[in-house]
């Protein structure tokens, strides 16, 4: 993962940008992985851990209508979270993650392992990605954080 993060930092260095995160099910894991790399303060602006719907509304300005109509675990919420993190930071790019890590909380429509990741980049369309991860809670959280880093690199390319 360190090589992937270093690739992200190199791109941000070339473009004079920083990164922000908006995390729900990963609970700050992405920010921790990024800040584990020496020199991250030059490229990581801030991280939002918005586990509750209230925090998604307060910190990232996700509209009540989005949360009520689509739920916290949805493509729409992930898109709004990424846009909110971008709007409330100095970042060039922001990534968001929302999902169901389990072991409970899943349903037929939204099973455990369902995760949405979105990337918002200044002056570019927001992109969302849907994943269905398997494993226990820790596996799903780790896979989500790793996938978010891959999507950041893809969105920067």
Please report the domains of the chain, with CATH numbers, ordered by start residue.
Answer: 2-156 (3.90.950.20)
Identify the segments of the chain with pLDDT beneath 70: none
Burial of 148 (0-12, 13-18, 19+ CB in 10 A): buried
Q: Could you tell me which of 9, 53, 65 has the C-alpha nearest to residue 34?
A: 9
d(CA 25, CA 23): 6
**pTM of the predicted structure, to 2 decimals:** 0.97
pLDDT of residue 157: 86
Q: Tell me the per-residue pLDDT of 129-154, one tens digit each, with 9 for 90 and over.
A: 999 999 999 999 999 999 999 999 99
pLDDT of residue 68: 97
pLDDT of residue 62: 98
d(CA 24, CA 63): 16
């Amino acid at each position: 993962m360190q090589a992937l993060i270093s690739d992200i930092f190199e791109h941000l260095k070339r473009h004079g940008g920083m990164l922000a995160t908006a995390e729900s099910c990963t609970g700050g894991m992405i920010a921790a992985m990024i800040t584990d790399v020496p020199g991250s303060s030059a490229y990581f602006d801030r991280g939002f851990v918005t586990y509750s719907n209230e925090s998604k509304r307060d910190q990232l300005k996700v509209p009540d209508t989005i949360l009520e109509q689509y739920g916290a675990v949805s493509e729409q919420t992930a898109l709004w979270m990424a846009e909110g993190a971008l709007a409330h930071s100095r970042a060039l790019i922001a990534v968001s993650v929302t999902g169901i890590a389990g072991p409970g909380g899943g349903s037929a429509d939204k099973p455990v392992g369902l995760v949405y990741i979105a990337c918002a980049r200044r002056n570019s369309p927001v992109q969302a990605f849907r994943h269905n991860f398997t494993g226990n809670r820790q596996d799903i959280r780790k896979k989500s954080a790793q996938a978010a880093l891959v999507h950041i690199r893809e969105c920067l390319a």
